[in-house]
Structure 1
């Protein structure tokens, strides 16, 4: 087991770096190799051969599981078309800002009154839904569906991978009837299920705690619905490294299992008859598994909760079977069971963090004298987890909380042993004695109010997080060696070498650009625009992508993670072409990170900031022998429409780049009349995302671009870029790129070298 599980895991992980899965013939060959390796091992007992067999088995197991899910693909012909689907609501519907989100198991699809079976798990949103939407119901819904798609940028969250982990093969929205006779949602069957209990409690808890500040946190800790947690609360949890407390996973389920285990032993020992039939420890193990299963079921069998339940069952199972096994053997058994039952766990950051934490605690607590106090051991566990998980946090999230150790020292036992048990006790009491249950529930919420000032104080401390984007994923290896040396016993020889092993991650950076060079990245921000322009020692941002009323914005989601990966610690200029939300929505997030950055905007009143200037034709500056010019709007043309966009021209190494924002044909004609041949550019960001009202023949002829980039959203509702605009650029002979299909597009201008164009989806393609 100790040799099999690591090899099996490595085999599974190896497929994550390949752009495609092995086909059926390759899988058959691998199966044959496994048989040969096992036959050789049976004769020679060579561990290397057994390791190879386990490695091939890992590849086979993961490939088969992935093929089975990927085969359930939404036909391309059904994407972004009006459909009627039938199926069952598979998860607890979550309402946030008037939008309902839920997983929907599709069984039938109808297009233009032609119906056919289609078995597909989807993730749907429903704006302004009726009040009678419940889990397990059968509905007929008018929808528009898309295949899984994500923002493809360095540092961005891979939503396509997350959808695959949850076996979701389509996303979409329920659309509202716009004319008489249009299809409307219909409830077909109101099936009962045990999952309805979760929805009942979800509504009850939020109703009872309606005006309480931490109602959303209590709801998340009981039924797993975190939609009601505010953005400010999430920010405090992130900054203090306590976000894991909100997810129902190893910590809470383990604590509940432990409480049931101890309570089971105590109760069992009250009866000599019961102890004679079954030892109290084994009875406690049964109670522990019952407690873990009940809490996991109540929280909706989320992936982290399932993973923890499997671990607890394997550990408690070994106790029930009276079979001695070391901690390492139990750890490997639990890990192996998780990998076999849920192969996609290896794509989940929580999997790596939880199992790494267990392994590091086992390592960090070994080799010590056993006469230390309980508080010393608890503090040591927190120290080991905080320091040990830093490299993984940097790799996965580009940051690690510095004050997480102090926050978790108090928050973990407080939430785990006080808040969660009180909340679950309240859920048990509500059907029995509603009044008592409400008081216990309010008490559980109050415990969070008492804890919050401490967490809020830590979250507001300056430099509470260590931001470190690893230039390459291989830098995790020297970091892990450094961590193992730091956590080694005090007198372990060579512990000081940890400083040396930390150096690669701290000092290896992307190569600096030379003078008279530009690296321009058009980020994939969906339907919107954001461009990062880097010279040797300066960085500018042109537009910041979309922002939404609920606070979700491309600044936090795309730009800031990109800065960390690129090691951009200073921003020299922020240009907002015009006030539209799909160009300025992420600006506030960027300004929070770079408070003193000078701004160029078309409408000054949009931002309350001292160092802000209205862009106007004639403004020029030079960075590292690269010239930047504002070509438009002309003096006295202040307005707040698309044609007010700041038009930026960059000249580098004899070539020009043009960023025209959302200008349309009228502004294009003014630019051509004013500059004409001066507009000629090697790279053009297509104006107004390639709409029908822009990219006129006159403008394209004047610019004559060699490379054209369309910044659009995948299957966007505006149908950008328009077929007419695409045809005009094709006639002009330029190479066309689209962020919706290419991801982030990086164009590098170097002196005495040809221009290089790289697309993120091509350079970092995956099988999903």
Structure 2
């Protein structure tokens, strides 16, 4: 059975790496054929030959592929047609979840009940943003500073709204977060925003449905937390532990949690759900044994199991029944059924049955890092927690066992942390040794008690306890993180084998070989171009620009990406994680081409994360050097030349910031790349007049995202690029690139970051371009 479940899981995982789904007829035939074979093979009484056993494993793997494809096809069937993107639609529906606030607005899930015009096709579940001001989409260059009166949006309300929608779309970069996969797993098949100054009418104050009632209860509890401790610094953490609402946790607090490796504790994780189930089971079991009548009605162990499962189910509902919480509930359900039946399934069989149930109900779980980390942690605990002969008793043994558990979980999840996040906290064992019992057995139960009773002294006591823990964590957060390039999959698998060796019982021979197997993942060198070559990565940062240039021994960053909100920017979300995953721990040169926030928005985050050797910009208020035409340097056989702005451009006043964009050309023996930022027609004419011989390049970064103010025919002819790259956001507010501008590049091959994701240019013997979406195509992308 174990091997069959693993084969099924491998089939499900294989399907999630495909760029397209198999034909529906083949899916149905595979489901029927594989199921029939397994039923026939299972009905045989005599032991099956090895070949038949191998065929059964193959059938289980094919069954996993077909099952995942069947569910994926059903979800893909509900999509937003391209002809209804970015068009005004009037929807009637219900606010299905707890609204999450962000800068100047709120975001919420919306269940569509009716649409106008009737011929429009809209997915049933969508994600909407309601801005409390005028968006630039409405025809203005910048968002209005005068905010409109924000309506109160509550779960369970029925609204009539005028919206504009688009298909799910996210930035596509190596080692980046797949927002499209996140939306797809949650069944949110379109995103959009509410149109200001259009129809927005509340039709019903509450729609009576069980799910909406739970969301309304969560909103009430969130309000009670805020009312009881309105100015408390950690009340957001307490609310997150009670109802799963993390919006009030500050970025600084998240930084402390990441630095100390306790992020998993500050949300409703599997640990908390399991803890609540265990506490309720113990309490009900103790009370049940006090009643002879109840004992005759139902044995106390079964009553405790039922109470524990019901408590876990209730806590999962209170947490919004998020996907990670659902996975934990499925795992607990398997264990509860096994205990209820009185069968001892064993640790490995229980874990694999839980895996099977999770993948049957949610085959996209394999896309989540939390899925792998949670199963790895539970598997490690089972592995080291197996009873051993001669195990000691007493407080010393308990303390030793607790230390062993922390060591095992830290080492056991290390390879996955390196693969998925390229970092881990050196102080994580110490931080978790205190944080796990405090949060699990004190802070979380008190937060839940307050949620049930709304008695302020409970929350005040809880906040006081959490404050002491935060002082300890903030002290530990001063220690550095271990950061390194992402190891390849082969090194990760080797490290997992090494972990198993290290965690074998004491006395097992040659356990030290596990450390040797772990070393490649810990010290895998980052790939770099050889001397004379260059890699240029145009990252997909949306409507903005960030370009990473690497030579054999140096790294240059050209612009830092956009500022998304007051608390989020491309430097923090995309550029720094990419640099860390590729082994860049220092920038030799950073160029901030001009002041616009879509190019300089990530500057602060990048400067905080990495040392910078040289800073070039056109911003007078920014320390460092000003970029000027004529500046040149050479790294590892690659020559860099600054072409714009000229020194005479700086004294001018009244010009656009775009006109001061730093233009950089890099070349080697293989070819050349011209990076133009946001220059406009006037600047293109100056370049043609000042240095026409330096403009000719093999690859051109299209000026100003394909705006109509740039890319004059004379400039395009002067550059003569065979490949052009347009950094642009999907269906962006400025409608870049202009169709007539794209038509001017008809003689070149055009790459677009909104369609192709990150684009890599390799000057390695020849000019070679590739895109992330082409190399790592997934069936849900663009759907």
> How does the TM-score come out when normalised to structure 1?
0.94
Q: 1:77: Cα distance to partner?
A: 0.6
Corresponding position of 2:253: 233
Is 1:306 matched up with 2:326?
yes
Once the two structures are overlaid, the 10-residue window that deviates more, 140-149 or 526-535, is 140-149
Match of 2:752 among 738, 748, 752: 738
Once the two structures are overlaid, the 10-residue window that deviates more, 303-312 or 36-45, is 36-45
Verify the 8 A CA contact 1:304 1:350 in the aligned structure 2: yes
Corresponding position of 1:39: 40
Is 1:85 matched up with 2:97?
no
Q: 1:508: Cα distance to partner?
A: 4.3
Corresponding position of 1:51: 57
Equivalent-residue separation in structure 2 for 1:515 and 1:479 (angstroms) = 31
Equivalent-residue separation in structure 2 for 1:309 and 1:536 (angstroms) = 50
Is 1:120 matched up with 2:127?
no
C-alpha distance 594-766 of structure 1, shift in aligned 2 (>3 A)? same
Verify the 8 A CA contact 1:422 1:441 in the aligned structure 2: yes
Describe the superposition over 1:192-212 as per-residue Cα deviations: whole angstroms up to 9, x where unpaired: 442211111112212222100
Equivalent-residue separation in structure 1 for 2:317 and 2:527 (angstroms) = 50
Corresponding position of 1:459: 477
Describe the superposition over 1:566-595 as per-residue Cα deviations: whole angstroms up to 9, x where unpaired: 222221100000011110111111111223
Equivalent-residue separation in structure 2 for 1:736 and 1:596 (angstroms) = 33
Is 1:61 matched up with 2:81?
no
Corresponding position of 1:390: 414
Equivalent-residue separation in structure 2 for 1:508 and 1:379 (angstroms) = 29
C-alpha distance 506-332 of structure 1, shift in aligned 2 (>3 A)? closer
Count of residues paired in the alignment: 746
Match of 1:336 among 318, 332, 356: 356
C-alpha distance 366-36 of structure 1, shift in aligned 2 (>3 A)? closer
For 1:232-311, what aligned pairs fall within 5 Å after superposition? Answer: 232-311=252-331
| SS of alignment partner, residue 766 of structure 2 | coil
Verify the 8 A CA contact 1:314 1:333 in the aligned structure 2: yes
Verify the 8 A CA contact 1:34 1:56 in the aligned structure 2: no
Verify the 8 A CA contact 2:159 2:200 in the aligned structure 1: no
| SS of alignment partner, residue 371 of structure 1 | coil
Corresponding position of 1:433: none
C-alpha distance 324-660 of structure 1, shift in aligned 2 (>3 A)? closer
| SS of alignment partner, residue 587 of structure 2 | coil
Equivalent-residue separation in structure 2 for 1:132 and 1:150 (angstroms) = 28
Is 1:359 matched up with 2:344?
no
Corresponding position of 2:774: 762
Is 1:94 matched up with 2:97?
no
Match of 2:548 among 532, 536, 540: 532
Equivalent-residue separation in structure 1 for 2:407 and 2:574 (angstroms) = 31
C-alpha distance 230-508 of structure 1, shift in aligned 2 (>3 A)? closer
Corresponding position of 1:139: 159
Q: Give structure 2 stretches of 5+ with no counterpart.
A: 133-148
Equivalent-residue separation in structure 1 for 2:177 and 2:706 (angstroms) = 27
For 1:404-419, what aligned pairs fall within 5 Å after superposition? Answer: 404-419=428-443
Once the two structures are overlaid, the 10-residue window that deviates more, 508-517 or 376-385, is 508-517
Q: 1:341: Cα distance to partner?
A: 2.2
Corresponding position of 2:742: 726
C-alpha distance 537-673 of structure 1, shift in aligned 2 (>3 A)? same
Is 1:163 matched up with 2:183?
yes
Equivalent-residue separation in structure 1 for 2:499 and 2:580 (angstroms) = 22
For 1:614-763, what aligned pairs fall within 5 Å after superposition? Answer: 614-638=626-650, 641-653=657-669, 655-730=671-746, 733-750=747-764, 753-763=765-775
Equivalent-residue separation in structure 1 for 2:333 and 2:40 (angstroms) = 32
Q: 1:260: Cα distance to partner?
A: 0.5
Once the two structures are overlaid, the 10-residue window that deviates more, 18-27 or 716-725, is 18-27
Q: 1:662: Cα distance to partner?
A: 0.6
Is 1:2 matched up with 2:6?
no
Cα RMSD after superposing both structures? 1.8
C-alpha distance 511-346 of structure 1, shift in aligned 2 (>3 A)? closer
| SS of alignment partner, residue 748 of structure 1 | strand
Q: 1:548: Cα distance to partner?
A: 3.3
| SS of alignment partner, residue 359 of structure 1 | helix
For 1:187-206, what aligned pairs fall within 5 Å after superposition? Answer: 187-188=203-204, 190-192=206-208, 193-195=212-214, 196-206=216-226
C-alpha distance 561-456 of structure 1, shift in aligned 2 (>3 A)? same
Describe the superposition over 1:654-685 as per-residue Cα deviations: whole angstroms up to 9, x where unpaired: 63321111111111111111112321111110
Describe the superposition over 1:217-276 as per-residue Cα deviations: whole angstroms up to 9, x where unpaired: 111111111011111001111111111112212111111111101111111122233223
| SS of alignment partner, residue 548 of structure 1 | strand
| SS of alignment partner, residue 196 of structure 2 | coil
Verify the 8 A CA contact 1:38 1:53 in the aligned structure 2: no
Q: 1:494: Cα distance to partner?
A: 2.1
| SS of alignment partner, residue 708 of structure 1 | strand
Equivalent-residue separation in structure 2 for 1:223 and 1:340 (angstroms) = 26
| SS of alignment partner, residue 472 of structure 2 | helix
Match of 2:502 among 476, 481, 486: 486
Verify the 8 A CA contact 2:485 2:524 in the aligned structure 1: no
Equivalent-residue separation in structure 1 for 2:533 and 2:612 (angstroms) = 25
Verify the 8 A CA contact 1:154 1:561 in the aligned structure 2: no
C-alpha distance 185-601 of structure 1, shift in aligned 2 (>3 A)? farther
Corresponding position of 1:434: none
Verify the 8 A CA contact 2:237 2:266 in the aligned structure 1: yes
Corresponding position of 2:141: none
Verify the 8 A CA contact 1:96 1:228 in the aligned structure 2: no
Is 1:211 matched up with 2:242?
no
Corresponding position of 1:561: 577
Is 1:224 matched up with 2:244?
yes
Q: Give structure 1 stretches of 5+ with no counterpart.
A: 431-436
C-alpha distance 706-222 of structure 1, shift in aligned 2 (>3 A)? same
Equivalent-residue separation in structure 2 for 1:351 and 1:447 (angstroms) = 30
Equivalent-residue separation in structure 1 for 2:352 and 2:175 (angstroms) = 31
Corresponding position of 1:30: 30
Once the two structures are overlaid, the 10-residue window that deviates more, 368-377 or 293-302, is 368-377
Equivalent-residue separation in structure 2 for 1:624 and 1:287 (angstroms) = 67
Equivalent-residue separation in structure 1 for 2:399 and 2:60 (angstroms) = 41
> How does the TM-score come out when normalised to structure 2?
0.92
